[in-house]
Structure 1
Amino acid sequence: MDLLRSMEAFVLTVKTGSFAASAISLNTSPQMIAKYVVFLEDYLGLKLLNRTTRSQKLTEFGKQYYEKCLFILDEVKSSKTLAQKFIEEPKGRLRISAPVSYGHFNLISVLSRFMRCYPKVNVDLQLSDRYVDLVKDDFDIVFRIGELSNSSYIARKLNSYKLIFAASPTYLAKNGIPATPNDIKKHQCLIYQYVNPTKKDYLWPFSVNGKVINIPISGSLKSNDTLALANAAVEGLGITMLPQSMLSELIHQNKLFPILQDFLPPAREVHLLYKSDKQQLPKLKMFIEFITNSM
C-alpha cells in the first residue's frame, strides 16, 4: 500500500474527525481510509488512533506522528512545486556554438536581449569556425552556415547570411574600381583560408545573369580570421569578401566602399541545430523560439 497516501489519509482523518469526511476529500470510501490507517499502524508497530463507535482520538504516539506527517507531506508538496517551477521557468546553463564572425556581428545582440528576458539562464557561448558536434562536444545549440549535411538533429532555418565585396577608398583610388567579376583577377584579394590552409587555388562566387560563376582570385594576404581581413581591407591591402553584417558599420564610416553590388554571391543558408528531445527543458525551448523569431 502507498505509504504517502496512507499518511495523507491519516492526517485528513485527524483534521476532519472521521473516516467518512476524509474519504470524501480523497474521493474514496470510509472503509479504504480505515485500511490506510491500519496499514500505517502495522507498518509502525504502534497504535495511532483509539477508535470507538462514536469517536477517534490520537494516542500519545499518534500525536507526535501526526506532526511528523504534516511536515513530510508539506515537504513532498514543496518538492513537487519545485519540480513544476523548474519545468516552467527557463534556468540553468545553455551551451552554444557559432561561427566567429556570425557570433560577433549577428548573434550577440540577439543573445543579449534573450538574457535580459531570462536572467536565470547562464550562457556558455563558444565561437569557432571549426566543425563541432552537438553530442561529442556537449552543446545544446549549434549554428551552421551553408548547406546542411544529413543528420539526426533538428534544424530551424534562420535569416540568410549575406556576403559583400568591399575595399578601402585608398585602395580603390590607387588600383581602380572593378566593374565586372573578371576584373577581380587584376586585384589583390584578401583570402580567407581556414577551411584548407594548404589550398593553392581560391575561388570567389559571383552572381551573373542568375547563375553563379566561380572566379579564381589571388592575393598576398591570407588569414583564418575574418576580423583580421576586414582590418586589412581598411588598411588598403586589398579587396575583401565578408559578411554584410560585419562590414556595414565600416562602410557607414566611409572606411570601406562596397563594390560589384550587381554580382554579389548568393546568400548562405543559416540553421540552428539541436537534439530531438520530447521533454525539452524551458531554457532550450524558449531560446529556440526567441532566436527563430528574431533572426
Structure 2
Amino acid sequence: METHINLRDVRAFCAVIDQGSITAASKALGETKGSVSRRIARLESQLGIALIQRVGGRAQATQEGLSYRKRATEALEILDTAQAELSDKDVIPQGHLRITAAQGLANNLHLGACLGRFMHAYPKVSLEVIMTGDQLSFREEQIDFAFRLAAGQLPDSGHKAILLTSVSLGFAASPEYLKEQGIPQHPDELAQHRLLLPRVFGDGLTVNMQPCSKPQQAQSFELTGHMLCQDTRFLAEAALSGAGITLMPPKVQEPHIKAGNLVRVLGDWESAQQGNLYLVYPARPLSPKAEVFKEFVRAEFQDQKW
C-alpha cells in the first residue's frame, strides 16, 4: 500500500532536530507538545525507522534520522520556494538558518551585531551560528551560509558566492619590539623579524606591496609566520606584548595605534592586494528566509570598508 507522508509531520521532525527538544519545537511551530510527539511517532511508524533519540536531555537524530533530515530539508526548501513564487501575496520569511564563520572573522566583522539586526528585522527566522575555522560541508552539516575570507578569488567549489567587501591589511608592532629588534624600512627586511600572520591565508603568505610614491611598481614578498591565528584580535594582543610584527586590518590596529601601544610599520608602503570577504551558499533555489538573509547581509556590508 502506498504511504502518504504528511508534510507537517516532516516539518515537525525537522523542527525538533533544529530546536533540540519537542518542547522548543512545539513553541516554534505553535502546536502542543502532544501534537508534535504524535507527528514524530506517526512519521516513524510510516517510515518503519526510529528518527529521534534522547541524548543528555536533548532530542537528537539517529543515523537514519540524519540521512532522512538532509533530504527532507532540501525537499521542503524547494517546496517553500515554489509556493512563494506562485503566491500573489507577500510571504513572511520564517524558519531556521545554519550559518558558519571562523571565530576571529566573526569578531572582527562584529557579526553578532549584524545578525542581531537581522533577527530584529525578521523575528520569525531563527539562527544557529557555528564558529569554526573548518570549511564545513554544506550538505553534510546542513549549512545555509558561510562567511569566508580569501586572498583574491575563492576556489571553484560548485557553490554560489557574493563578494561582500574587501579587507585591507597593514603591518604594526609594539614600540618595545621595534626598539629591541629595529624598524624594517623595506618589505625584504620582514624576513628578519618575528611575524604574526592571519591563519586564514594558510601557513605562509605572499603579499604584493608597492611604494606609496610609486603605486604602479608592486612587488611580491613571501612571508612565513612565527605565529599563526585566525583571530586578528588575538594577533593584536600578541603584538601588544612585544611578540613581533603583525598583519591585520586597519580597523583592528587603529585604536591601539591612537593609544600609542602599536606603531604602524612600513608606512611608506601600501598593500597592492586585499582579502576578500564572501558570503557562500549552496547552488540551489533559495527559500524566502535564505533570500532575505542574503540581501540583508549584502546591504549591511555594502558601504563598509575594512
Both structures adopt the same fold (TM-score exceeding 0.5): yes
User: Is the CA contact (8 Å cut-off) linking 1:205 and 1:212 kept in structure 2?
Assistant: no
Q: Distance in 2 between matches of 1:272 and 1:211?
A: 32
User: Is the CA contact (8 Å cut-off) linking 1:97 and 1:128 kept in structure 2?
Assistant: yes
The residue type paired with residue 122 of structure 1 is S
Q: Distance in 2 between matches of 1:142 and 1:134?
A: 9
Q: Distance in 2 between matches of 1:184 and 1:152?
A: 37
Q: 1:274 aligns with which of 266, 269, 281?
A: 281
Spell out structure 1 runs of 4+ moving beyond 6 A: none
CA 211–137 in structure 1, closer or farther in 2 if over 3 Å, else same:
farther
> Please, what TM-score do these two structures have when normalized by structure 2?
0.59
Structure 1 residue 172 corresponds to structure 2 residue 178: yes
Q: Distance in 2 between matches of 1:177 and 1:116?
A: 48
The residue type paired with residue 138 of structure 2 is L
> Please, what TM-score do these two structures have when normalized by structure 1?
0.61
Q: Distance in 2 between matches of 1:267 and 1:218?
A: 18
Query: Over residues 140-196 of structure 1, what are the superposed CA-to-partner deviations in whole Å (9 max), with x where a residue is unaligned?
Result: 001222222223322211111222211112222333322211121232222455776
The residue type paired with residue 144 of structure 2 is D
Match of 2:208 in 1: 206
Match of 1:96 in 2: 99
The residue type paired with residue 229 of structure 2 is N
> Any gaps of 5 or more consecutive residues in structure 1?
1-79
Structure 1 residue 285 corresponds to structure 2 residue 263: no
Query: Over residues 25-59 of structure 1, what are the superposed CA-to-partner deviations in whole Å (9 max), with x where a residue is unaligned?
Result: xxxxxxxxxxxxxxxxxxxxxxxxxxxxxxxxxxx
Query: Over residues 2-25 of structure 1, what are the superposed CA-to-partner deviations in whole Å (9 max), with x where a residue is unaligned?
Result: xxxxxxxxxxxxxxxxxxxxxxxx
> Offset at 1:212?
5.2
> Offset at 1:96?
0.7
Q: How does 1:112-151 map to 2 (within 5 A)?
A: 112-146=116-150, 147-151=153-157
Q: 1:161 aligns with which of 163, 167, 170?
A: 167
Larger CA Rg, structure 1 vs 2? 1
Figure out how many residues of one structure are paired with residues of the other and give that number: 207
User: Is the CA contact (8 Å cut-off) linking 1:155 and 1:274 kept in structure 2?
Assistant: yes
Structure 1 residue 105 corresponds to structure 2 residue 105: no
CA 254–116 in structure 1, closer or farther in 2 if over 3 Å, else same:
farther
